[in-house]
Amino acid sequence: MLDEANVIHDAAEPSTSTYDSFCNPEVIVTTYGDKRLACLIDWPCRFEQACDGPTFVVIRPEATDEQLGKLVDRFGLDMDYLKAFRTHHAT
């Protein structure tokens, strides 16, 4: 069961990179309308990252299993978690 709509996932070991390197290892799963997002694009599944911030993975109810699978491959996220997020939290 999911307690929160946003879960931070550490996709890699902490980075020793410098500011503005796009190497923040945090991944936050969220949905359309999150005020932290820079781009409000109405795509079913996407991600974005600022130069010094975490990566936001944006999931909408229309996201397919294939699209979620690509997120699993790229970020090492759990497929069951992403499916549950899509069902219970995505808007």
Yes or no: say if 29 and 77 are a contact pair by the CB < 8 Å rule. yes
Q: How far apart are CA 84 and CA 79, in angstroms?
A: 9
Instruction: Note the pLDDT tens digit of each residue in 12-48.
Output: 455 454 555 677 889 999 999 999 998 878 899 999 9
Residue 31, phi then psi, degrees to nearest 5: -130, 175
pLDDT of residue 76: 93
Q: Is residue 27 part of a domain?
A: yes
Higher pLDDT, 59 or 12: 59
Domain tally, the chain: 1
Let me know if residue 31 belongs to a domain: yes
pLDDT for residue 6 is more than 80: no
Average pLDDT, the chain: 83
Domain that holds residue 39: 7-88
Structure tokens at 5: 């709509």
Is there a domain that residue 2 lies in?
no
Residue recorded with tokens 């911030």: 53
- pTM, to two decimals: 0.74
Report yes or no on 29 lying in a domain: yes
86: closest CA among 76, 73, 67? 67
pLDDT of residue 4: 47
